[in-house]
């Protein structure tokens, strides 16, 4: 006796979703599968769907990829928001909450999210990510990750700003006897759970790695450790302290104020050049890395290899105009220069002069 066609209905729809570009195509595959079953085709669900979807290209299955977008963003957005500066977090959220915010602010963050997805091996998801999907995920992130106003604060505000006749009245007994009994039981259960947790061996969870160039962009080294207006003096200091022979450029319409040695996670140390940009009356920090440093940094950070590809050729430059900083990356000889400014300057790279 042949099994009922309903027996493998769920399996058929599962495989239809895996190869379809949208819900309509999955429904069409199911209709074709039903016709095949009526004609007596008892092929296995995966075989039947594979046969019926033979017209699909190798890139089919976009529906599944799009459905992966909110899942991937649910994990990614808290990490991204957690590793950027508070002022930038506020700018990002304002861009999505304020209808009057410039569309460019949302577009810049969309690019940053796509690059983060690609760096984690999720290029297919990044390709399917749209502005609407990002806005929906941002709303979900704010609703689930951000705590509501505590009752104590809300009560104070309501009693301060609401007319007396509209203020909430507090019941005489907020917690009736059944609620107090339930609360007591809950405390006992929580105490037992906490005791079990304390005595259980801890399990280390891996810490997500930040992207190196983004981490540099979030750093600000205010005052130079060694003040020097002469490039040669700065080069000698760095050679003595780091055994690093690098070229310290001059900034056209700017002044070299000095150099510092910064340290990052994993004991990574690198030079920072301090400039005062007289054209914009703004401070410009230039972080200097080399390829040996990058290899050591990969154990603690993600390194965006696309930036390295962009600057591999002589004259190659990578530019990023983020909401709260402007970054220019280029290579000179075997060293990599990362200039960070608060002011957008399309000519910033060409203003750094090497002898």
Query: pLDDT digits over 341-355, tens only?
Result: 988 888 899 999 997
* Helices and strands, counts by H and E, the chain: 15, 9
What is the reported pTM? 0.45
Domain ranges within the chain, ordered by starting residue: 5-52, 62-145, 215-353
Q: Which two tokens stand for residue 297?
A: 């940094």
More confident residue, 330 or 102: 330
Strand partners, 283: 276
pLDDT above 60 (res 90):
yes
Contacts made by residues 310-318, CB under 8 angstroms, sequence distance 24+? 311/336, 317/349
Report the alpha-carbon distance of residue 337 to residue 313 in Å, rounded: 14
Report the alpha-carbon distance of residue 10 to residue 45 in Å, rounded: 9
pLDDT above 80 (res 92):
yes
pLDDT band for position 170 (50/70/90)? low
Q: Write out pLDDT tens, residues 248-257.
A: 999 999 999 9
pLDDT above 70 (res 137):
yes
Three-class SS state of 18: helix
pLDDT band for position 337 (50/70/90)? very high
Q: Calculate the CA 195 to chain-centre distance.
A: 36
Q: Nearest 10 degrees: CA dihedral of 317, 321, 325, 330? A: 0
Identify the CATH number of the domain defined by range 215-353: 3.40.1000
Residue 202's pLDDT is 53
pLDDT above 90 (res 69):
no
Residue 85's pLDDT is 80
Residue 204's pLDDT is 54
| Cα–Cα nearest to 267, from 305, 224, 300 | 300
In DSSP notation, 225-287 reads SEE-SSHHHHHHHHHHHH-------EETTEEEEEEEEEEEGGGEEEEEEEEEETTTTEEEEEE
pLDDT above 80 (res 179):
no
Q: Write out pLDDT tens, residues 19-45.
A: 776 677 778 888 888 888 888 888 888
pLDDT above 50 (res 1):
no
More confident residue, 161 or 248: 248
Q: Are strands 282-290 and 317-322 parallel, antiparallel or unpaired?
A: unpaired
Q: Write out pLDDT tens, residues 233-249.
A: 999 999 888 888 899 99
pLDDT above 60 (res 130):
yes
For the purposes of burial, counting CB atoms within 10 Å of the CB of 337, is it exposed (0-12), middle (13-18) or buried (19 or more)?
A: buried
Mean pLDDT of the chain: 80
Residue 263 backbone phi and psi in degrees, to 5: -135, 135
């Amino acid at each position: 006796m042949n099994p009922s066609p309903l027996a493998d209905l769920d399996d058929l729809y599962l495989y239809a979703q895996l190869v379809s570009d949208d819900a309509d195509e999955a429904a069409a595959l199911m209709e074709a599968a039903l016709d095949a079953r009526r004609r007596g085709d008892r092929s296995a669900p995966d075989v039947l769907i594979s046969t019926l979807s033979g017209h699909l290209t190798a890139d089919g299955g976009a529906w599944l990829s799009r459905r992966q977008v909110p899942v991937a963003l649910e994990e990614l957005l808290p990490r991204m928001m957690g590793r950027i500066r508070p002022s930038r977090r506020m700018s990002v959220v304002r861009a999505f909450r304020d209808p009057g915010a410039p569309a460019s602010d949302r577009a810049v963050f969309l690019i940053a999210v796509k690059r983060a997805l690609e760096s984690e091996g999720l290029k297919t998801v990044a390709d399917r990510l749209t502005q609407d999907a990002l806005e929906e995920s941002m709303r979900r992130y704010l609703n689930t990750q951000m705590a509501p106003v505590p009752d104590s604060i809300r009560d104070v505000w309501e009693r301060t700003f609401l007319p007396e006749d509209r203020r909430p009245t507090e019941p005489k007994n907020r917690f009736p006897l059944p609620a107090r009994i339930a609360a007591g039981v809950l405390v006992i259960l929580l105490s037992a759970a906490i005791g079990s947790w304390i005595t259980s061996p801890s399990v280390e969870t891996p810490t997500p790695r930040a992207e190196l160039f983004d981490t540099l962009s979030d750093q600000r080294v205010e005052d130079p450790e060694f003040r020097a207006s002469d490039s040669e003096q700065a080069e000698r200091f760095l050679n003595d302290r780091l055994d690093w022979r690098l070229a310290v450029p001059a900034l056209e319409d700017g002044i070299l104020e000095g150099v510092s040695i910064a340290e990052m996670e994993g004991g990574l140390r690198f030079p920072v050049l301090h400039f005062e940009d007289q054209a914009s009356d703004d401070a410009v920090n230039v972080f200097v890395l080399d390829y040996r440093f990058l290899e050591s940094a990969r154990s603690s950070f993600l390194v965006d290899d696309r930036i390295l590809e962009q600057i591999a050729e002589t004259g190659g430059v990578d530019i990023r105009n983020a909401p709260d900083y402007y970054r220019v990356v280029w290579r000179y000889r075997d060293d990599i220069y990362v200039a960070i400014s608060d002011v957008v300057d399309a000519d910033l790279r060409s203003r750094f002069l090497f002898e």
